[in-house]
Chain A
Amino acid sequence: MALSSKDLIGLEHMSQEEITLILDTADAFRAVFDRPVRKVPIMRGKTVVNLFFEPSTRTRISFELAEQRLSADIINFSASSSSLKKGETLRDTAENIAAMKIDMIVMRHSSPGAAQYLADVLDASVINAGDGPHEHPTQGLLDIMTMRHKLGSLEGKKITIIGDISHSRVARSNIYGLTKLGAEVTLCGPPTMVPGAMEQLGAKVEFDLKKAVRDADALNILRIQLERQSQMVFPSNREYALMFGIDEEVLRTTKPECFVMHPGPMNREVEISSAVADGPRQVILDQVTNGVAVRMAVIYLLSGGDPGSLAGRG
């Protein structure tokens, strides 16, 4: 079995089998990190362009590492130092890069649908590294990979996502991926951040934090986007921390084996207390490690040619 598309735009249109294939392949790459040489030659001669129109540290480093560990050649591009400042359109920028004969583009962009648009106009594979509030599929996959390591199968498991759901591409990718694997997803946050319409995606909405965490197997705590605070979606950081922040007191009300995830960067003492962020129940750095493995898996699986028979390669 192979992936059905040349691109990874989101988890919304992926099948359960495809997600499982990516996660299984990511496990194999994760094992490569424990070898003396943390690098394999499978992508030698392939060129990947990292096209970041929005600032990013972790995702970008993670993709770059993934590409290097596959032995791909890499070009990095960031919007601040580009011709976009001179008025070039996204399509022209991308087509010019594609004309230099590259195999894959990893793109982050502030507009939902930007990755899909590029995928439609280019022959090269496109990986969405976040398109506005729409999706961030590799983050969703690495979160699910981390949960799968802790929980085994996700079938029937209860995952609670807490925070600014309405602006969060991470939440969307999590919801799509988790529900496909059979998990029950609960969304929690202030009503200004958790639109009731999210229930249409197959998740439950619960505004009472105590109820939302009581039966959860895992908490995925989203970053409060302080830069959006000008829109006054909650009165103050302090009030948010009191009502929805995850601290040790909240964790005492959960199942003892319930663990805590955060996609980073964290606002300590706002959505997560330092005691929890550094405590025994968090798997935040596992998420970061798994992120590189998941991205290697996606890049590898998307870069095959015609997935024909492997018979007789002896």
Chain B
Amino acid sequence: MEFIQKNVIMTEKEVHRALTRVAHEIIEANRGTDDLILLGIQRRGVPLAALISDIIEKVENVKVPLGAIDITFYRDDLSTVGPAPRVAATEVPMDVTGKKVVLIDDVLYTGRTVRAAMDEIMDWGRPKIIQLAVVVDRGHRELPIRPDFVGKNVPTSQKEIIKVRVKEHDGCTEVVVGEGRA
């Protein structure tokens, strides 16, 4: 499917401003950085988590443990869409039991990825709390899941496609909206 871009809805600067606010909200909501672990969801959640971790370090002078999680083996749609093309690394930096885990992803849509990520984290231990931070919440949830920290709420139609681009994978950082054409 071809992606037809319509608008840039967040520039690199705006993404960074939003992440800076989200980083501050994470510290504020958790009253500091004690027991925090940031886990980026593969693939774009991982560099976004690193950006948030950098901002927290600047503000609080603390390096928060940073990890990555690939939800491929926890998906609920193997029968309908088949195996994923490539499985990326899951790296959980420490035992999550009793810790405050902040999951970080680019877009929150149906909520199914987050469901899979939460199940996966539970297999690593029993966190005290799991929170969710996303750059864009585009609505259309299929599960009772809500984000704790949101960069930008973007009401969309289901026909639309939201892409969060990050330097590490796409060469630039921005958020665009568009449509697919078969």
Q: Contact residues of A with B, CB < 8 Å?
A: 1-2, 24-25, 28-29, 31-32, 35-37, 39-43, 300-301, 303-314
Residues in A whose Cβ lies below 8 Å from that of B110: 312-314
A24-B73 in contact (CB<8A): no
Interface 0/1 of B42-85, CB less than 8 Å to A = 00000000000000000000000000001011110111111111
CB distance from B99 to the nearest CB of A (A): 14
Closest B residue, CB atoms, query A69: B73
Q: Which of A28, A35, A301 is packed against the most chain B CB atoms within 10 Å?
A: A28
| Interface size class of chain B, counting residues whose CB lies under 8 Å from the partner chain | 35 or more
| A40 to B85 alpha-carbon distance, docked (Å) | 18
**Is residue B152 within 8 Å, beta carbon to beta carbon, of the partner chain?**
no
B83-A307 in contact (CB<8A): yes
Interface 0/1 of B120-141, CB less than 8 Å to A = 1001110000000000001000
Residues in A whose Cβ lies below 8 Å from that of B74: 40-42
A314-B107 in contact (CB<8A): yes
- Provide a sorted-by-A list of 12 A–B residue pairs whose CB atoms are within 8 angstroms: A28-B70, A35-B90, A35-B124, A37-B124, A41-B74, A42-B78, A43-B78, A301-B83, A305-B82, A311-B180, A313-B110, A314-B112
A300-B83 in contact (CB<8A): yes
| A305 to B87 alpha-carbon distance, docked (Å) | 17
Contact of A31 among B1, B89, B113 (CB under 8 A): B89
Closest B residue, CB atoms, query A305: B79
Residues in B whose Cβ lies below 8 Å from that of A306: 80-82
B161-A312 in contact (CB<8A): yes
B125-A314 in contact (CB<8A): no
| A307 to B78 alpha-carbon distance, docked (Å) | 9
Q: Say yes or no: A308-B125 contact (C-beta < 8 A), given A28-B87, A41-B73.
A: no
Residues in B whose Cβ lies below 8 Å from that of A28: 70, 72-73, 87-89
Interface set, chain B 78-125, CB cutoff 8 A to A: 78-90, 92, 105, 107-110, 112-113, 119-120, 123-125
Q: Say yes or no: A36-B161 contact (C-beta < 8 A), given A2-B82, A305-B82, A314-B113.
A: no
CB distance from B48 to the nearest CB of A (A): 14
| A305 to B78 alpha-carbon distance, docked (Å) | 7
Residues in A whose Cβ lies below 8 Å from that of B125: 36
A313-B81 in contact (CB<8A): yes
| A31 to B69 alpha-carbon distance, docked (Å) | 12
